[in-house]
Chain A
Amino acid sequence: MENRPNQNVFWRDKFGLRAVIILAVAVLFISVSGAFAFEKKSIFLPGETSEGHHLFEASCASCHEGFKPVSNENCNRCHEAELEGDLHGATKFKDPRWASFRENVDVLTCTACHSEHIHMFGRGVHLQPDLCMACHEELTLTQLKSHEGFAADGCWTAGCHNYHEHDTISTGFFRENMGAPDMLPVQQLPDRVVTTELDAAPAPNLSKEFLEGQS
């Protein structure tokens, strides 16, 4: 065993350790700058991107500002509409009655719960399935008789609860709407009415331009 030639020593004899390190750094530098130059930034992805974000996963700057953590402002650029009616959001947890729960989970920061490039459970950006237990364990698993024996990771994965989108799945909503027939008495989708200003179409104001086209 002791007589086995050591490959590292063989390298060092031939090129010198310094040369090997310089070469390795050069290769790394060339591949990183090459990835930027040839728009192949997907090589930097550390893992699978979530369902919605994978379409622009090579556009790093869409979410990342350098190496800073992803900010709420960044998420809100696209997700404002989804969070508009959030009863479980900033208004609630800035209220002194609920503020102490922020010690369990920093609920005012999107990335405290939502992780990207790491697969846990698919729901938009990935989430820990038993996340609710950070605050609701005692209430749900010990005090609520009706929930006895329920799994800690089933609250929302089973489709019964929803953190942000509470108002169409809450007990209040069910109480108000339960018992309605399969088909509601009045089935009404919003109708789209298109009004017209003119009785007849005007004469087209371009024509030969289309024949000539444009390069």
Chain B
Amino acid sequence: MTFRSARLLPFVIVLFCVGCLLIAPAFPAIAATQAEVEEITQQWQTGAHALNDVNCASCHQAEETKAFVASPNQESCQSCHESAVETFLLGKHGIRTLEGESPLTPAMARIPMKHDAFDKQLSCNACHDVHTVNTMQASVESCLTCHNDNHSLNYENSKHAQGVLSSSLPRPGAAQVTCATCHLPRTATKKTDGTVVVKVNHNNTYTLKPRNRMVGEVCMNCHGVEYSYNSIFDDELVEANFDRPPTLEHESFELMRAAEQRRSGNASASQEDSE
């Protein structure tokens, strides 16, 4: 290198940097490759969104300004999935967003979370693959991406997991018990015209505690009341994710049976008296 060109080098570097800064807006940070776009388009084409005429621009374009939106957030989802987002914002997953704080990350949790997922930000697409609209994945796999407590890790040993982990359905069927079945349960409401609308309650705190709420809302869709209470009030069995039938005998039922016996005893005694 000659002396002359060496002296010019700092100017060239500065010019290059300034130039890059100037043209940067034209080559933004979040850009997909052609292959990625093709793959995502294919996923979208076979999903429920495409077949309901929800096209790219429905989410990736601002309604008023028509500006391109690279990463749509829950506000975009909310325009169709109103109650899902509303309930999401009321649960632990969404409450920070509702309160104008930065989104929740697993690092903030008090319960064990996977280290690899510590910085993941909670939003709709943290759990949902919005292009395939495969809610089977959102019902188990997504949860286990972050949650690392024993109850979650033992799910695969649970009878509930049978027929779920091997399922190839796009969404859990009525006989499949996933994480979401109990923690983000489906609720059926009857509209005035008699049609039943099934929605998913995304408030993950709602059926968590008190435990009897979960019994009423979820367990008793399939199990008897005693089996449900004897399971859910046994902390060890909860931690093992219900890998065996319950052995606990909740005292309430013993008291109830004694009360019922007194009741019928009194009834028959008074009957005898009258005779």
A174 touching B28 in the complex, CB below 8 Å, given contacts A168-B212, A190-B198? no
With an 8 Å Cβ cutoff, the count of chain B residues facing the other chain is 86
Interface string of B43-83 (1 = CB under 8 A from A): 01110101111011100110000001110000000000000
Query: Are A194 and B211 interface neighbours, CB within 8 A?
Result: no
Interface string of A200-215 (1 = CB under 8 A from B): 1110111101111111
Query: Are A192 and B200 interface neighbours, CB within 8 A?
Result: yes
B: residues with CB less than 8 A from A are 24-34, 36-37, 40-41, 44-46, 48, 50-53, 55-57, 60-61, 68-70, 90, 92, 95-96, 98-101, 104, 108, 110, 135, 171-175, 177, 181, 186-188, 198, 200, 203, 205-206, 209-213, 215-216, 220-227, 229, 233, 245, 250-253, 255-260
A123 touching B174 in the complex, CB below 8 Å, given contacts A81-B90, A214-B68? no
Query: Are B37 and A183 interface neighbours, CB within 8 A?
Result: no
Instruction: Tell me whether A15 is interfacial, beta carbon within 8 Å.
Output: no
Query: Are B33 and A178 interface neighbours, CB within 8 A?
Result: no
Complex Cα gap A32–B142 (Å): 41
Instruction: Tell me whether A162 is interfacial, beta carbon within 8 Å.
Output: yes
Query: Are A123 and B210 interface neighbours, CB within 8 A?
Result: yes
**Shortest Cβ distance from residue A58 to the other chain B in the assembled complex, whole angstroms:** 7
Query: Are B60 and A209 interface neighbours, CB within 8 A?
Result: yes
Complex Cα gap A124–B27 (Å): 49
Complex Cα gap A56–B96 (Å): 6
- Residue contacts A-B, CB under 8 angstroms, 20 given: A52-B95, A56-B96, A81-B90, A146-B255, A146-B258, A160-B252, A177-B220, A177-B224, A177-B225, A180-B224, A184-B222, A187-B221, A190-B187, A191-B174, A192-B171, A194-B48, A196-B51, A204-B41, A206-B56, A211-B32
**Shortest Cβ distance from residue A188 to the other chain B in the assembled complex, whole angstroms:** 6
Task: Specify the chain A residue showing the minimal Cβ separation from B94.
Answer: A55
Instruction: Tell me whether A116 is interfacial, beta carbon within 8 Å.
Output: no
Q: Which residues of A contact B251 (CB under 8 A)?
A: 158, 160
**Most chain-A Cβ atoms within 10 A of its Cβ — which of B26, B55, B99, B206?**
B99
Interface string of A44-64 (1 = CB under 8 A from B): 000000011011101100100
Q: Which residues of A contact B221 (CB under 8 A)?
A: 184, 187-190
Query: Are A184 and B51 interface neighbours, CB within 8 A?
Result: no
Instruction: Tell me whether A9 is interfacial, beta carbon within 8 Å.
Output: no
Q: Which residues of A contact B30 (CB under 8 A)?
A: 213-215
Query: Are A211 and B37 interface neighbours, CB within 8 A?
Result: yes
A189 touching B50 in the complex, CB below 8 Å, given contacts A171-B256, A214-B68, A215-B25? no
